[in-house]
Amino acid sequence: MSTGPVHGATGPVHGTWEPRPAARWEDAFLAGNGHHGALVHGDPHDERVIVTHHALVRPDPDGEDTRDRLPPRVAHLLPAVQDRLLAGDLHAADELTDGRPLRWIRPFHPAFQVRLRRPDATGTGTGKGTGARTGAGARHGYRRAVDFATGEVRVDCGGHTARLFVSRADDAVVQHLTDPGPALDVLLDHRLSGAPAAADALHRHVRTPEGALLGLRVGYPGSERAYTGVTLVTATGGTVTVTPEGIRVEGAREVLLLTRVRRHTGEANLPAEGRALRALTAGRADAYPALLARHLTLHRTAYRRVSLDLSADPAERALSGSALLRRPDSPALAERLFAAGRYHLLSSSGLNPPRLTGLWTGEWDTAWSGGFTTDANLNLQTASATAADLPEVTEALASLVHRQLPDWRDNARAVFGARGVVAPAHTDGESGHAYHFDRDYPLHLWTAGADWLVKPLVDHDEARGAHDPRTTAVLAEIASFYEDFLTRTDEHGRWAVVPSYSPENRPDGGGPGAVDAAMDLSAARHALLTAADRHPEHAARWRAVAARLPPHRTNADGALAEWARPGLRDAYDHRHLSHLYGVWPLDEIDPHDTPAAARAAHRALALRGAENDSAHGHLHQALIAARLGDGGRVAAALARVLHGDYFHASLMSSHYPGRDVYNADAAHTLPAVLIEALVRSTPDRLVLLPAPLPAHPAGTLRGVRTRFGATLDLTWSPEGGTAVLRPSRTHRVDLRTPSGAQVLHLVAGQDHVLTLTGPRPR
């Protein structure tokens, strides 16, 4: 079994470590199975493991008028607003609302912390603070580590060992301690930062045949809803007793804890929950290896599919994460962040895809309610799902989409009077209604979201060579929406997308609701044509609708305009790059097929500012630059993030420089950027080294999944390289490399080896 991060003298490190406990929850090491999450501080004398769950969103009080949680019924106002927008009134769409104030989505919050106190340990005092113990731990060989390949967090200090993982097989937080000391107190504590004072907390601690059970039921203020945490404590040797605060274990050789969280209405059956946990262990504290083995079958298999080796210095690979972060130009840092990004993305995907904070938070007042923002953030975080061969992420995204389709239909009817579906820009994971909007951010007018959310599902289908009928059905609903919505035309007889919203920008001098946003045009075309490919019975009709959409416009600066409507001026200094949706994630604009449009898109990218230095803005620029073959701009965007102090010691990222606002955008998107700079695939094309990075002139990328059904291993250096394709189906592929183009005839089951030479002289 694993004992910590995998260190290889000749390969990258698949884990990270620190020489001291985490003093802040943001630095706690992370584990998760896509349902439960855990944040491990690693204090051997007063450990705090914060437990989270994707389902934990704070409900509205019972009896509260929740009409503001429904989409606004404004379809009857739409024709008049469309008339005014088409006549040149740049603020007409400001009035397409029912006048409600901004209503935030329901906030995500942590469950509680499992506290493990050793009252006999020197320097523990009252358990406040960790400074003295941090020093003592370091003198006794303290080490806190997480192994990405296993999902196991381990703390070693003075002969004491604590291990934790969150089981994908058994859906439980599993903790194991050896040599826990003469006494160990175990308690559940929900009093984390921002927890409502009025929360109704009830503790129940009982000794049963199942073992010692800690139960914590937390009722939401003003609501019948609650959540319950249950921890089963089993010990080898010694005694286990119930105390007023929790459970005390004395004289044990090892202790096993299993924890689950459940959100519910009414009371939870504590003995039944305990029996379910005991069934996993047969009441044995030494069941940890068996539990871990079941988990590894799922987690390790997924994690090991793809790896990146940038030929880093072994001495730098051996550094702790916090030390490595102080070397932002190190290939070892890029390797580790790539590995950490895939690990955290996998670990936060299950019931849902990753939230703005992944699956983790240490406080109740989570920024932006800790929800899912679908007009860039979630989309960027899941950008690597297909290429990095993480179908678990794609399935989690699909789960969110399909659960919310009834609400998406409500949005289409209420706001636009149309059939089909419209996705919200913000969701808490429960409701898919579009109710989070105001005058400055009229997110209810955004129609491109459904296409963007379904795009990774389409990519996944292309990679595996089969259509998921659920995705095919959703595409038909998106196409039906555009059929109903596109009723107005311009002076050339082309459809006018009106109102049209380019998240989260607005034309210079105008309101945010405008006409013919480039993103809306690209999304409508893509949805209609993709749906037509899968529905022959409607293909002619939907292709005809797509053909009448206006083309993109090139503005006076030579840039692809954010709004195709003449007279709408671009506002360049903005964190979003919605207008370049046709470049990434779509294949609509490509240097090989549409060189003029690609040049205009590249000019638009060059003119784009960074606005408030949001991490997602920098990496969004990098993804688009990679598609346009601009390795220098990819490298510059990565450098701004790596030099901007965006990463915590946990290797989870922040939204702003200086580790300001815990946020998963950079952590989860960075692997996609590195892959796109090295490999790009479509259903019929493979581009190798499209945007080489000067900082990484040599390396190996293994296991990339292409959209034409082959896995790819790529090795490159300044002298050339090798690519090995392992196709799962027979296919003709257009190959582009720095030295030229050729056609590949791939045969299912037969490896295809390519020898790459250096770039052609210019």
Report the CATH number at residue 150.
2.70.98.50
Contact criterion met (CB below 8 Å) for 273 and 231:
no
Same domain, 291 and 390: no
Residue 300, domain member (yes or no): yes
Q: Which of 579, 611, 640 is the last residue of a domain?
A: 579
Say whether 339 sits in a helix, a strand or coil.
helix
pLDDT in tens, 517-574: 999 999 999 999 999 999 999 999 999 999 999 999 999 999 999 999 999 999 999 9
Q: Compute the mean pLDDT over every residue in the chain, rounded to the nearest whole number.
A: 93
Catalogue the long-range contacts made by 713-717 (C-beta closer than 8 Å, 24 or more residues apart): 714/678, 714/679, 714/688, 716/678, 716/689, 716/692, 716/756
Same domain, 197 and 265: yes
Residue 33, domain member (yes or no): yes
pLDDT in tens, 173-228: 999 999 998 999 999 999 999 998 877 777 777 766 556 889 999 999 999 899 99
Model pLDDT, residue 264: 87
HSE of 751 in the Cβ direction (CA atoms, 13 Å)?
7
Contact criterion met (CB below 8 Å) for 701 and 714:
yes
Model pLDDT, residue 207: 66
Task: Please give the share of the chain, as a percent, with pLDDT higher than 70.
Answer: 95
Residue 705, domain member (yes or no): no
Same domain, 24 and 79: no
Model pLDDT, residue 210: 56
Model pLDDT, residue 600: 98
Task: Please give the share of the chain, as a percent, with pLDDT higher than 90.
Answer: 85
Model pLDDT, residue 282: 83
Contact criterion met (CB below 8 Å) for 73 and 98:
yes
Question: 553: domain range?
Answer: 67-105+386-579
Q: Which of 523, 558, 579 is the last residue of a domain?
A: 579
Model pLDDT, residue 11: 85
Contact criterion met (CB below 8 Å) for 190 and 218:
yes
Per-residue pLDDT at 1 exceeds 50: no
| Residue 139 pLDDT level (bands cut at 50, 70, 90) | very low
Work out the angle between the directed axes of helices 518-534 and 469-485 (0-180°, nearest 10).
Answer: 130
d(CA 69, CA 105): 8
Same domain, 147 and 293: yes
pLDDT in tens, 241-291: 988 889 999 999 999 999 999 998 777 777 788 889 999 998 888 999 999
Residue 611, domain member (yes or no): no
Structure tokens of 641? 């993030």
Q: How far is CA 698 from CA 312, 319, 569, 641, in A?
A: 10, 21, 43, 22
Per-residue pLDDT at 761 exceeds 50: no
Question: Exposed (0-12), middle (13-18) or buried (19+): which is 721, by Cβ within 10 Å?
Answer: buried
Q: What is the mean pLDDT of residues 308-324?
A: 97
Same domain, 38 and 77: no
Same domain, 99 and 117: no
Contact criterion met (CB below 8 Å) for 243 and 205:
yes
d(CA 560, CA 598): 9
Model pLDDT, residue 379: 97
Question: What are the beta bridge partners of residue 724?
Answer: 713, 753
Radius of gyration of the chain (CA): 27
Give φ, ψ of 646 to 5 degrees. Answer: -90, -10
d(CA 719, CA 713): 17
The residue whose two tokens read 């609302």 is 97
d(CA 539, CA 762): 44
For 517, which DSSP code?
B
Per-residue pLDDT at 4 exceeds 60: no
Report the number of distinct structural domains present in the chain: 2
Model pLDDT, residue 627: 98
pLDDT in tens, 566-597: 999 999 999 999 999 999 999 999 999 999 99
Q: What stretch of H or E contains 278?
A: helix 270-278
Among candidates 473, 457, 453, 463, which has minimal Cα distance to 534?
Answer: 473
Residue 715, domain member (yes or no): no
* Dihedral sign of CA atoms 363, 367, 368, 370 in order: negative
Q: What is the mean pLDDT of residues 680-684?
A: 98
| CATH number of the domain residue 489 falls in | 1.50.10.10
Same domain, 390 and 282: no
Q: What stretch of H or E contains 236?
A: strand 225-236
Q: What is the mean pLDDT of residues 684-699?
A: 95
How big is the CA angle at 7 (ends 5 and 9), to the nearest 5 degrees? 175
Model pLDDT, residue 762: 28
Q: Which of 251, 281, 304 is the last residue of a domain?
A: 304
| Residue 173 Ramachandran class (φ > 0 left, ψ -120 to 50 alpha, else beta) | beta
Residue 759, domain member (yes or no): no
Same domain, 71 and 153: no
Same domain, 152 and 41: yes
Same domain, 80 and 129: no
Model pLDDT, residue 136: 41
Model pLDDT, residue 757: 85
Determine which of 209-213, 454-458, 606-610, 708-712 has the lowest per-residue pLDDT on average: 209-213
Question: Exposed (0-12), middle (13-18) or buried (19+): which is 706, by Cβ within 10 Å?
Answer: buried
Per-residue pLDDT at 655 exceeds 70: yes
d(CA 209, CA 282): 11
Per-residue pLDDT at 720 exceeds 60: yes
Name the more confident of 560 and 122.
560
Per-residue pLDDT at 123 exceeds 70: no
Same domain, 253 and 286: yes
| Residue 158 pLDDT level (bands cut at 50, 70, 90) | confident
Residue 339, domain member (yes or no): no
Q: What is the mean pLDDT of residues 26-53?
A: 97
Contact criterion met (CB below 8 Å) for 534 and 467:
yes
Same domain, 272 and 131: yes
Residue 349, domain member (yes or no): no
Per-residue pLDDT at 129 exceeds 90: no
pLDDT in tens, 166-183: 999 999 999 999 999 899
